[in-house]
Chain A
């Protein structure tokens, strides 16, 4: 069993190293002739003005918050799904209730107009 995790470790290292080689290899053979015009930020030929790290819609953060709720819910659902065959029917209903409570949250957020993209 532990062997498998060693394999995953080896695999992760290899899967990082192979793209790294692919990115580093052209650096040896490709030309290097930098100049100021070439290295300008590309904004369709117009010079960039001001701070580039602009503010964007707060809606993105709300989506991230709701995502977090559901992501944690799903983590709890995995063990429930795996052991479903051994659980009594009551425990299955409990799982359904758990989903329903979070579902109510989603409906609340929807009714509140959080999801509306204006």
Chain B
């Protein structure tokens, strides 16, 4: 009972072997079943998340959000899906049909494929490869290719500009993201995701808060949501790289964006929030799955909260933030953590002293970086205007 997932796996295995299937076929069937299950669950989550996001956006911006279809509008997403399925596909003249049609599928696949290596609970790991972190970084980069394909093949100036802008942004923010990923790898001495989760005593957000912060900021840029949603700045670029897409092809980009946000939540959970760990998660692996999804959902809501509260920034501000602040700070943080970790290992200190020193180092670097940034940034000059003449109704002038 305790280990429900592995129990079901063994049951299917014995069942298939009992039917006379070979060892290899059984293994293959199990793997196919597992991957279909994970991917279908991803889609189900996105349907729920779209409702959550819209309701949250409504409440934060002092609106109701969806409230017509069903109680609290919970059937809104289903209505949207039925509508989008009956929409006509429009391909613009002069579009490169092949690339144009593959791009939405690739955008979705690049996000889905990341889920192959996630440890959902103790012993419930998709593929526990030794290079899990590298796999995540490599597969995630395919999304950039999909955006470039969509923008180029649309035969639309706005789409092309939006795509080139997003590629400049996405590749820039990939550097601080990967460098801050190096910190958990360094602390756990492994690139295996299950080992990184198990090494978190306490959670790495307490050992490396600065890396967690940089990872959060740069992956928010990777998702392409506000305040970094320049790739679809409506006032400048219509809708960015997916201007020409309609029906389910647009739906795929939309769903990929939401799933990417949830995937970032899952990544932060794995690297900094202890993954599936929690009370009784070792005895009851099924609880680990619940913890994993709950933590991811909390991070998802935090990202939504940030994006709904902040206005969009300009492209030069965005690139400056990355190249002049995030990249130097993330590299200095990496060096400091590496030296501190190595030196303290020689002294064999107690765990709590180690954590305290790490936390202090991170905070000091963050404060110093913020102070330096404030000093080096030019003060905003505001033009002084003389007060404008105001029409005053006769008889009400102050005497």
Q: Please, which residues of chain A bring their CB within 8 A of the CB of B115? A: 11, 15
In the bound complex, CA of A23 to CA of B100 (Å): 12
| Contact present for A40 and B191 (CB under 8 Å) | no
Instruction: Map CB proximity to A onto B123-158 as digits: 1 under 8 Å, 0 otherwise.
Output: 000111110011100000000000000001011111
The interface-forming segment of B83-91, B287-295, B352-360 is: B83-91
Q: A26-B89, A78-B134, A82-B191 are contacts. A7–B155 as well, Cβ < 8 Å? A: no
Task: Tell me the count of chain A residues lying within 8 A, CB to CB, of chain B.
Answer: 67
Known: A6-B31, A41-B244, A85-B345. Contact between A78 and B133, CB under 8 A?
Answer: yes
CA distance A117 to B323 in the complex (A): 12
Q: Is B338 part of the binding interface, using a Cβ–Cβ cutoff of 8 Å?
A: yes
> Are A82 and B190 also in contact (CB < 8 A) when A8-B129, A106-B328 are?
yes
> How many pairs of residues, A versus B, come closer than 8 Å at their CB atoms?
221
A108 at the interface (CB under 8 A from B): no
The A49-107 residues at the B interface (CB cut-off 8 A) are 52-54, 56, 59-60, 63-64, 66-67, 70-71, 74, 77-78, 81-85, 87, 89, 92, 95-96, 99, 103, 106
Q: Assess the B249–A23 pair: CB atoms within 8 A.
A: yes
Of A30, A71, A110, A115, the contact of B89 (CB 8 Å cutoff): A30
Inter-subunit contact A30/B105 (CB<8 Å): no
Q: Chain A residues near B171: list those with CB within 8 A.
A: 63-64, 67
Most buried by A among B109, B189, B243, B251: B109
From A10, A19, A106, give the contact of B109 (CB < 8 A). A19
Chain A residues touching B, majority SS: helix
Q: Are A11 and B35 in contact (CB under 8 A)?
A: yes
B227 in contact (CB, < 8 A): no
- A60's nearest neighbour on chain B, judged by CB, is B168
Whether A89 contacts B342 by the Cβ 8 Å rule is yes
Beta-carbon contact of B248 and A22 below 8 Å: yes
Q: Is the CB of B74 closer than 8 A to any CB of chain A? A: no
Chain A residue nearest to B156 in the complex (CB)? A41
Say whether A42 contacts B248, CB under 8 Å. Answer: no
B367 sits at the interface (CB 8 A): no
Q: Which 3 A-B pairs have the closest CB atoms?
A: A117-B316, A15-B112, A19-B108
Residues of chain B at the chain A interface (Cβ within 8 Å): 27-28, 31-32, 34-36, 38-40, 43, 84-94, 101, 104-106, 108-109, 112-113, 115-117, 126-130, 133-135, 152, 154-158, 160-161, 164, 167-168, 171-172, 174-175, 178-179, 182, 185-186, 189-191, 238, 243-244, 247-249, 251-252, 315-316, 319-320, 323-324, 327-328, 331, 334-335, 338-339, 341-343, 345-346
A residues bordering B, Cβ < 8 Å? 1, 3-8, 10-12, 14-16, 18-20, 22-23, 25-27, 29-34, 36, 38-44, 48, 52-54, 56, 59-60, 63-64, 66-67, 70-71, 74, 77-78, 81-85, 87, 89, 92, 95-96, 99, 103, 106, 110, 115, 117
User: Can you show 25 pairs from A to B with CB atoms below 8 A apart?
Assistant: A3-B31, A4-B128, A6-B31, A7-B34, A7-B127, A11-B31, A14-B39, A23-B252, A29-B86, A32-B88, A39-B90, A40-B92, A41-B93, A42-B244, A44-B238, A52-B157, A54-B160, A56-B161, A60-B167, A64-B168, A67-B172, A70-B327, A78-B134, A115-B323, A115-B324
